[in-house]
Structure formats: C-alpha cells, structure tokens
Chain A
Amino acid sequence: TQLLEQSPQFLSIQEGENLTVYCNSSSVFSSLQWYRQEPGEGPVLLVTVVTGGEVKKLKRLTFQFGDARKDSSLHITAAQPGDTGLYLCAGASRGSTLGRLYFGRGTQLTVWP
C-alpha cells in the first residue's frame, strides 16, 4: 500500500506546454518534499514545503502544499526538454524525529522538443 499516491504516472507533452503533477495521501505530513530523478542517478531535492497552504516557486516550477498537509502539487509552466525526468514526492511523518521519508511511485515526465 502506497502512503503517497502520485498522478499521473506518465506524462508526455510538447515543449512549451504547462502541466500539473499531483501527490495525495490520507495521512498528514509534517513536511513534503519534491525530487527529480534522471536515469542512472539518485533523486535530487527540488523543494521542501512545511506549512499548510504554502506555495513555493522555483523558476518555472510552482509547488503547493495543501491546507491540511495531506496533498501537494507541482506545476510546470512552459515545459522544456530539460525538465524530462521522474518527479517524486516524499512525505515526512508527523512526530517523527528520525527524518524517515515515504516516497510516492513518481510521475515520469517526457518533454518533446
């Protein structure tokens, strides 16, 4: 059973299009992180959101944490081929002092030139 459900699982779009990836759970998290993973590499942290309702922007990427801290979204504006990769969300349990992360299955994004 996945603690975090990501959708869609696959996304194939043309350069310049916008897209949104979702990360949902029935559990409340103290924080939620988004990673990007490229083939043959480990995940690289993009952002951490901590406060319910928080919105963070990283150039063309906008991250939002749900008010109830159970869900998050990643919006990419004007996607570029360099955005291609596996996008993973990961939640940190409330009350945990160990820093354990629970990862979703990921969304595989392909951006065609």
Chain B
Amino acid sequence: EAGVAQSPRYKIIEKRQSVAFWCNPISGHATLYWYQQILGQGPKLLIQFQNNGVVDDSQLPKDRFSAERLKGVDSTLKIQPAKLEDSAVYLCASSQGLAGATQYFGPGTRLTVL
C-alpha cells in the first residue's frame, strides 16, 4: 500500500513570495491533516479535513495560510505572503477516521524562507 505522498520535498523562497505544497493521502483515508514542524519542536496541527470539509483550522494563520481539499482526496496548502518564521517542515498525514485512528505521515516538505 502506498504511503502519504508530498511534493515538493524542498522549497526555498524569499520572504513575501508565495508557495504551495501538495499532499496525496493513503487511498481511502477520509481524514487529512497538515502540520507545521519548526526545527526543535514537535508537529503542530494547522488544519484538519474530514473528506472535503474543514473540521479544525483553529491554529491556521488565516491571514496568510490557506488549504483546500476540493474532491476529498488530494490537498494543497498555500502560504501567501511567506514570512521568515514560516521556515519549517510541513507534514501531511492521513487516517481512516477521527478520534483514535492511526495517523500516517508523509515525508514532509522542508520550506526555507530567506
């Protein structure tokens, strides 16, 4: 079974530029998560989708971050405009259900904002 796929793996941009990340979850997984992991910290949930609906975006900086999962499968996370403090690894995870379901993580996208 294929795991969670993410692209690109690495991205370097200058501040105030825009960037987008893509995630393809495990087939059949209804729940999709985007996490931000800053160096030296644990992952922090940005947004959680159940199928194509948002169930938790309380930690998403909505003035610059946006995410969508239009057909309930793939998802994109966008940052516009990027700030220096957005430098981090952006992890996508998926699970079959909600509470208690195992989350499977992708390899992440390492973003460096100069």
Give the interface of A toward B (CB within 8 A). 4, 30-31, 40-45, 48, 88, 90, 92, 96-101, 103-106
Contact = CB atoms under 8 A, between A and B. Distances in A.
Interface stretch (B12-20, B37-45, B62-70): B37-45
Interface in B23-69: 31, 40-45, 48, 55-56
Contacts of A101: 45, 103
Interface residues of B, number: 27
A92 B97 CA distance: 14
B91 interface: yes
A96 B105 contact: no
Q: State the majority secondary structure of interface residues on A.
A: loop
Q: State the majority secondary structure of interface residues on B.
A: loop
A31 B97 CA distance: 16
Contacts of B43: 43, 88, 103
Given A40-B107, A42-B106, A98 B42 contact: no
B97 A99 contact: yes
